[in-house]
Structures are given as structure tokens and as C-alpha cells.
Structure 1
């Protein structure tokens, strides 16, 4: 009897950890086992000092085509609370290391929510995004609607969510939920290269920039600007700041240490 394949695969590209959903027979749909495996892989990446950034991807020709509907149909309200079915999205949102989604094919429902919970989204030009929950009598439940309203505005977001229509990568870029569109088949390699570029900068700067960006999303403007200002000031006492200035003046590449 052949063993059941793991729903998540992990590969390291130097300091970049690639976490890949691997259920191609289900178009990488998220069931409870896959969500649990993703949470474990994400927390392991966060705890590993060798990992500088995380790239989320899907196996075969898909990112994640949604939540596993067959399993979803069997869950009660109590099951959702007891099993913490939305935990994986919170873990991605709060991960202390930069996250990039590499999207090829479908990113629908929970797959779309998983992608846009990341810091950056790189999409192949044929990728498709959607929140089709309304078509099965549901609403987005893991941030898809809320993040889309913040990125695109209420009117454009509701056109997307109230119909359950899919949009292509170019339109998703226009809506503000995709960072870059690349040729098909290159989303993962481009995301890893982008993660490597980010890793080369001061980890202190990266952390503070991500925190300030979250504040800009979630706080009133005056509070967000104050967070940004304090982050700017905090860097002045660091070795990385002095190294960056010295390297600029010496016309060489900086050697950041995170101090």
C-alpha cells in the first residue's frame, strides 16, 4: 500500500524557505490536515534562525483553488471554533519574517485569502483570483473581503465578492492585491529572488517597515505616521544604520548584521 503523500512540502533555497501546498489531485484545496501542516511549517520557519523569508506556493499548476468543499460541508459552527479553521491565516499575517505568495493558476476562496495575507504577491500572468463564497451560500471568512476593501475600496471590492467572479492577474494587480505579474511558470523563481533581495537588507529595517505597513493598514493616519516616525528614529542608534551610511559613502555593498 502506497503511503499517503504529505499535503505540504518544504524546501530551502539558501535562507529562503519555500512552503508548498501539495494536493494536486484536489487542486491544492485546503482541508484541515493541510491547514495544520501549513501552521506547523510556518512556525518552524519562524523559529529557524537560518530562515530569512518565507515563500508560499502550490504544487503543479495551482496555488490553492479554495477550501476543500467536501470537508467543509461536514463542519458545524462548533467545529470551526474548536478546530480553529482560520488559524493558518492569522499565522501568516503575524509571521515575524517576510512572506511572499507565488501564485500560478487558481487562488480562490481560502487560497486568495492565504495569498493576500502575505506581504507580497507575485502572480503568473494567467493566474486567477476570486472569492466565490457567495456561490455556496457563504461569505469570505479569513480576511478576503476586508483586505480587498482596504486595497481596492468598497465599490470595487463588492463587485468582486458579491458576484463571486474570478479576475486575472492583471486586474488583481489593478485592484491592489498583487505586487507583480510575471510570465507563467516564473512566479516561484521570481518570488525567491525577491525574497533574497529583501534578505540582503538590514533585518531591523525590514521588521520595522513591515510593522509600519501593518499600522498604515489598521490605524488612523496620524497613528500610523507616528509609528513610521518612531521606526525611523529607532534605526539611528543601530549598527546597521551606520554601516549603511558608511557603505554608501565608501561606494561598496553594506554588510548588515541586524544590530
Structure 2
């Protein structure tokens, strides 16, 4: 850490050619291993642990967390990295013409389709109740990019696909958060957390950035953004509850519920510690994160996050009605109002500083014996097949 405190700016400049190149977090840690031997593990060292369950890993990736914490802790480097993570992915730009032509793109873990004035992103991991993992993250981010880049839609919607679980078979589920089975079996790399929160979640909140512009939320930093609607059916657990905190409007089934079981998972729930108190106040947020308090959507506390309660079976009609209501006078002021809220509530430097601490602390959590113990005690993870 002493080396990083003194030299992180120089290291980052070497990796990004003095910040003339934008490099995403997952590529940055690979480049760092080549430029500064011993600073972070090499891809070969990490690959040698592929196939190991989480308890048997040596914790090599903790050094990635310390490195990324130092990068984000530097105002100059951290802003540049946040900017890099808000750029449209090349895969999305390559698929945009197809989406404009066909109105639909399906990828691993997610799909996006056009429905009138809305681009609808569907999280689709049916075997695991639409949980998020390494197989679904890229698809989700590319679909979010396409929803924002599509010039023919004015608003975006996120919902979950129909799932396979016997209890919910044939029903849509918004999502079960991180795939705890994959986490236990060592299939969630550390950098996944930052790729997710600096990537698609922050793109929903801040929009897409331009490579030749200033970082978003700074003077001259323009964005491509749209209002977002979430449609919560069945439940939004963990990471999917976190996503609701960056939405502009939340629809929820009357029977749906929200939880942030971070203590039982043994990890930090993304940016929820920063964002949830804005909605519920500090006490309820702490109860949700640290004491597994369940929030029924149709309750006074749940309605602090959910804007509208929908009867079971009426979600499609509710989405159509809200999309129409939010677009019938145009959305010309939507981006401006979203930026104004962000400047007042969560400017980019606040986000950057939060994730500087998060990167370090989550790295330690990810390899903590307590995480394994919790997954076995509360999730019976050792008996589940990945």
C-alpha cells in the first residue's frame, strides 16, 4: 500500500498512456500485472485457481482490490477510470444496427427489445432465479448500452424473465441478486463486483459517456441517458434491490418484497450503503443491510422505494401506462433533471470515493472465512450444484 500511495498516479499513467486511453477495470488489472510485476496477480496465477471452490483460493485477488482502491482514491485517476467504465462497450456499438433493424437482441443472461417508446431490458438467468454471475454480467451491460443508444426509444424498462424454480415456475422474478452458488464454488472473480457497479448499474444512474468529453457530472461532461422504470415481480433480493436505488420509477407487485441480506452473504451490497439511506433513512437502511430486515413492497417502508403497487397479473398494462405517461409530453428535460438530482445527491467524486473504500473492503470480504461459513450456514451452498 505504501508503494501505491506514492506511485499510483504514475502507474495508472503508464497503463493508460497518460490517460489518453480508456481502460476498463477488468483489463486494467491485467495490464498492471504486466507493467509492475508483483503488484497484482497475473492472469496465469488466477487461472491456476480456476475450478477451486472459494474456500480453497489463496486470496491473490485481494491485491487487485488494493490496487483499484488506490486508483479510485486518486481524484485524477479515479475520475478517468469511472469515465472509462461509462463508455458504451464495443460489443454494443457492433450490435446497434441489428437492434435498430430487428428491435431485439438476446445475449447470455439478458435480452433487450423495443416496445413502442420503450427499450425493455430483461435479466434472464432462469435456473438461478435471474441471479447475477459471471455468465450474465456482460450481456446485461451490453443490453443496457443498447437500450440507451437506441435512437427510436425515449425510456428504458428493466424486468426479470420467467424462471424455472418450482416455487415460481412460469412466473417472472425481478432477481435474486448475486449467484450465491457460483460465489461459493469460486466462479465469481473479485473484479466482477467493480465491473458491475462501475459498469451497467452506474450507466443506468448516470447514462453513457463520450470518450472525447469531460467525465459525466462535470462541466462539459455530456451523457446519453433515459429515464428508467423497474418492474418488480415476486422479489428483488440483494443486487436486484440495489438496482432499484438507481431507477427513476419503480413498479412492484402487491405481493413482492425487497431484501438486502448482506450480512448473511458476508459481502458489502454494492452502493446500497450510500444510496439506500436517501430513500428509507439511515435506521431502516442499517436494519436492511445488517439485520436482514425484509421490506414488503406494499408497506409504508417498501413504498419509500416503490412508487406504485400493481396487482398480480397487471404488470404489463402498468408498464405500458407509465411509459405513456412519462413520454406523452416528451422527455426533453429528463436528462437535465436526472443530472440535477445527481449533483445534489451523489456527484461523481462522492461515488468515486465510496468505491475506493469499497474496492478494498470487498476484496477482504470476498476471501473471508466468514463468507464461506455464512454461505454454508444460511444457504446450504455446499450441497448446491453450480
TM-score by length of 1: 0.75
Q: Which residue of 2 aligns with 1:69?
A: 180
Partner of 2:289: 161
The total of aligned residue pairs comes to: 213
Q: Distance in 2 between matches of 1:62 and 1:46?
A: 23
Query: Tell me, what secondary structure is at the counterpart of 1:12?
Result: strand
Show the 5 A alignment for 1:221-240.
Answer: none
Structure 1 partner of 2:244? 115
Write the distance in 1 (CA, Å) between the matches of 2:301 and 2:310.
Answer: 11
CA distance in 2, matches of 1:7, 1:76: 17
> What is the SS of the residue equivalent to 1:19?
strand
Task: Give yes or no for contact 1:173–1:179 (8 Å, CA) kept in 2.
Answer: no
Deviation at 1:174, TM superposition (A): 4.6
Does the aligned pair in 2 maintain the 1:89–1:114 contact within 8 Å?
Answer: yes
Q: Decide whether the 8 Å contact of 2:174 with 2:240 is kept in 1.
A: yes
Q: Which structure shows the higher strand fraction?
A: 1
Q: What's 2:346 paired with? A: 218
Structure 1: any 5+ residue segments left out of the alignment?
220-259
List structure 1 runs of 4+ shifted beyond 6 angstroms.
none
Residue 5 of structure 1 deviates from its aligned partner by 8.0
* Cα pair 1:103 1:188 within 8 Å, conserved: no
Q: Which residue of 2 aligns with 1:88?
A: 200
Counterparts of 1:112 and 1:101 in 2: how far apart (Å)?
10
Specify the alignment match of 2:13 in structure 1.
Answer: none
2:124 to 13, 16, 22: 22
Q: Deviations 1:185-214 (Å, cap 9, x if unpaired)?
A: 323431232122212223322222222232
Q: By how many angstroms is 1:6 displaced?
A: 3.7
Instruction: State the secondary structure of the residue aligned to 1:11.
Output: strand
Tell which deviates more after alignment, 207-216 or 25-34. 207-216
Q: Does 1:50 align with 2:179?
A: no
| Secondary structure of the corresponding residue to residue 123 of structure 1 | strand
Displacement of 1:172 after TM fit? 6.5
Q: For the residues of structure 2 that align with 1:203 and 1:5, how far apart are their CA atoms?
A: 29
Q: CA RMSD in A?
A: 2.2
Question: Is residue 198–residue 206 contact of structure 1 (8 Å, CA) maintained in 2?
Answer: no
Asked if the contact 2:112/2:147 (under 8 Å) is kept, the reply is no
1:113-192 correspondence runs (5 A): 113-141=242-270, 143-171=271-299, 174=302, 176-192=304-320
8 Å CA contact 1:7, 1:23 repeated in 2:
yes
Could you tell me which runs of 5 or more consecutive residues in structure 2 were left unpaired when the two chains were aligned: 1-105, 163-171, 208-224, 348-386
Cα distance in structure 1, aligned partners of 2:250 and 2:303: 12
Q: TM-score, normalised by structure 2?
A: 0.51
Tell me, yes or no, if the aligned pair for 1:104 and 1:124 is still in contact at 8 Å: yes
Work out the CA distance in 1 between the residues paired with 2:232 and 2:142.
21
CA contact (8 A) 1:170 1:181 kept: yes
Q: Determine helix, strand or coil for the equivalent of 2:298.
A: helix
Structure with larger RCO (C-alpha < 8 A, sep 6+):
2
Residues 124, 182 of structure 1: 8 Å contact kept? yes
- For the pair shown, which has the larger CA radius of gyration, 1 or 2? 2
Could you tell me which residue of structure 1 aligns to residue 212 of structure 2? none
Sort the Cα spacing of 1:188 and 1:6 in 2 relative to 1 into closer, same or farther, 3 A. farther
Q: 1:146 to 1:189 in 2, by over 3 A?
A: farther
Distance 1:93 1:172 in 2: 25
In 2, distance between residues paired with 1:134 and 1:148?
Answer: 16
Q: CA deviation at 1:136?
A: 2.0
